[in-house]
Amino acid sequence: MIQEINEYLQQANPDFNTGFGLFCKYSPNQSLMSWIGRKKDMEMLRYELDKLNRSGSTFINPNAPIHETLFNKSIPAKALPDAPAESVKIIFKTYDERRTKRSDLPEALQKVYDDIISEYPVRRGYHEKMKMAKTDADRALFRTKILEAEERIKAGWLKIDTYLENAEKEKVNAEFNEKSCRAYISKALKAEKNSDKVKSGVKIRLQALIDHGFNISEETQAALKAKELI
């Protein structure tokens, strides 16, 4: 029996993230970590934790904190506050920091790219209308339209970024080089500020190192956390 897991399983409504952290700590199975974390599969998590608990294994995964950060996709997006329409200050985000080239994308994603570009003037137009609106009801309506356009933009970039991230993963694994991966991570640690693209690249290379049997020192893990790279 593993005391931490046993106590967790005895809870009436156990927290997913706590259980997932325990699974990453005591399991060597990265494939299951990825599946459970990505799907937020509570039933599978409890089943696998119960197996570990009954096994009485003494294994502790040295890369557990990294696994937990890389694989746990369960953290929900922050909800938008229901503030009065006239008091809401909307700040637009520039999503395409990667300077994506349309020509680098497959045909299906080129259509997504075109749809995103067409949403920017829609969002801007509703923003201007909201600023000119004379009533709270009109401002609320235009705010809703702005946020709907914003969500379509975010969803489109998510599809493209997922494709670009998977393409980079495939390239890093196909051309795996330990020194190159560690150099990339070291450069990110030394940088004063890192873009989302670099943060994604760090996670990809960390996972590649782990997949190829290389451990990440506790000192490096702490440094990565301090820089919010994992």
Residue, of 91 and 190, whose pLDDT is higher:
190
| pLDDT of 77 higher than 80 | no
Segment 93-123, tens digit of pLDDT: 555 555 678 888 999 999 999 998 888 888 8
In the prediction, which pLDDT does 188 show? 92
pLDDT of the residue at 74: 54
How far is it, in rounded angstroms, from Cα 150 to Cα 147? 5
Confidence of residue 87 (pLDDT cuts 50, 70, 90): very low
pLDDT tens-digit map of 166-189: 898 999 999 999 999 999 999 999
- 161-197: buried (b, 16+ CB within 10 Å) or exposed (e) per residue? bebbeeeebeebeeeeeeeebbebbeebeeeeebeee
pLDDT of residue 81: 40
- For the record, the structure tokens of 45 come out as 């998590």
Tokens of 52: 């570990």
Give the whole-angstrom CA distance, residue 132 versus residue 7.
Answer: 58
Which residue from 153, 161, 143, 155 is spatially nearest to 80, judged by alpha carbons?
Answer: 143
SS3 84: coil
Confidence at residue 218, expressed as pLDDT on a 0 to 100 scale: 87
Give 32-58 pLDDT, tens digit per residue: 887 788 778 788 888 889 889 888 788
Task: Give the pTM.
Answer: 0.53
Helices (H) and strands (E) in the chain, counts: 10, 0
Look at residues 156, 147, 159 and name the one whose alpha carbon lies nearest to residue 92: 147
Q: Measured in whole angstroms, how far is the alpha carbon of residue 24 from the centre of its chain? A: 17
